[in-house]
Amino acid sequence: MILTVTPNPAIDLTYRVAALEPGETHRVRAPAARAGGKGLNVARVIAQTGGAAFALTTAGGASGLRLAQDLEADGLPSEVVPVAAATRSSVAIVDEAAGETTIFNETGEPLGTSEWKALHDAAERLAIPAATIVGSGSLPPEAPDGFYAELVAIARRRGVPSVIDATGRALLLAAEAGASVLKPNRRELADTVGGDDPVTGARTLLDAGAGLVLVSLGADGMLAVAPGAEPIAVRLPEPLSGNATGAGDAAVAAVASLLAAGVDDPERLLRRATAWSAAAVLAPLAGELDPGYADLESRLVTV
C-alpha cells in the first residue's frame, strides 16, 4: 500500500471554454467537480493503474464534507482528519483552442496545532502497512515548514522510501531529512534554491541529503539527477496539447508505484514518471491518465 498525505486538499473545479478571452464574459457548462489536491490525485492515478493507495487528508466546512463524500463515492480508500477551516477550492480553466490551462489555486486557511498533531499521528499510524510514503502539495498558511520532513522521518523509521512534491523551505527540509525522491517542477526548484539551471538546483538538494531529484520541465520532458551520476533527461518527440493539471501528480504516482515494487533505478523511474505525466496531459481531469499511458513510455527519447 502506498500512503499519500495531502495537508491542503481542494475541491477541484474544471471549466472548459472554446477559447479564453481575458476581460470578456464566457458562458460555460457546469464545471467538473471532484475532491482534489496533489496527494489525492496521486492516489487516484495509483488506483487507476492497478496499485493500492490510501489517501490521508484533511477536510473542513461544507466544502470539506463534499470532499469526504466524493472520496467515499469514488471508492478511494482514505481517512479524513476533521479541521475547523473550510476546505479550499482550485479552479482550472481549459482553453480548448489554445490547448492551455489556467489555474486559480486558493491558498487555504491555517490549521490549529492540535489539527497538525492529529494529521501527524494519523500518518504515523497509517505508515505501518505502507510500502512507500508520499507527501504532496502546498501547505496551508502558517503550516510548520518541517511537516514533510516529519513524513520522511516516519518513512525512514519504517524502512520504506519517501517521495515529496513540495516547494520552498518544506522541500529543502525534506531533502535534509533524507527523502528518497524529490519531484519539484522547474519553477518550484528555482523558488527553493535560486538560479535557473535545474541541474545545479537539483544537485543542491542532493547535497542537502536527497536520494534522487526529478525535475518536471513541461514540454521539455523531465530531468533526473542522482548522486555521482550524469543527469538524464527524456521527453516525447513532440509536445502534447491538453490539460497539464495533475501531470506532476501522475509523475509522483509513477515513482511511488515503482519504489513500492522495489524498483529504484533512476532511469526507470524517470521514464515511467515522464510517460505517466504525459498521459495525464491527455486526460480530461487531474488524477487520471489517458488509457494509452503504457504506450507513451516506448516513445520517449533521451535529450
Per-residue 3-state assignment (H helix, E strand, C coil) for 155-221: HHHHCCCEEEECCCHHHHHHHHCCCCEECCEHHHHHHHHCCCCHHHHHHHHHHHCCCCEEEECHHHC
Phi, psi of 224 (to 5 degrees): -120, 130
Q: Are 182 and 160 in contact (CB under 8 A)?
A: no
Q: Are 140 and 162 in contact (CB under 8 A)?
A: no
Choice among 70, 165, 249, 290 that is catalytic: 249
Low-confidence ranges of the chain (pLDDT < 70): none
Q: Which residue has the cell 513541461?
A: 218
Q: What is the per-residue pLDDT across 133-176, written as a single tens digit (0 to 9) for each?
A: 999 999 999 999 999 999 999 999 999 999 999 999 999 999 99
What are the strands, taking DSSP E only, across the chain? 2-6, 10-17, 32-36, 53-59, 78-82, 88-95, 100-105, 132-136, 162-165, 181-182, 213-216, 222-225, 232-235, 301-302
pLDDT given at position 242? 78
C-alpha cell at 30: 457546469
Q: What is the per-residue pLDDT across 12-36, written as a single tens digit (0 to 9) for each?
A: 999 999 999 999 999 999 998 999 9
Distances from the Cα of 206 to the Cαs of 23, 67, 228, 303, in angstroms? 44, 36, 10, 22
pLDDT given at position 46? 98
Question: What gap in Å lies between CA 189 and CA 206, rounded to an integer?
Answer: 12
Q: Are 180 and 211 in contact (CB under 8 A)?
A: yes
Kindly report the pTM of this predicted structure. 0.94
Question: What gap in Å lies between CA 96 and CA 20, rounded to an integer?
Answer: 8
pLDDT given at position 13? 92
Asked about 249 being catalytic, the answer comes back as yes
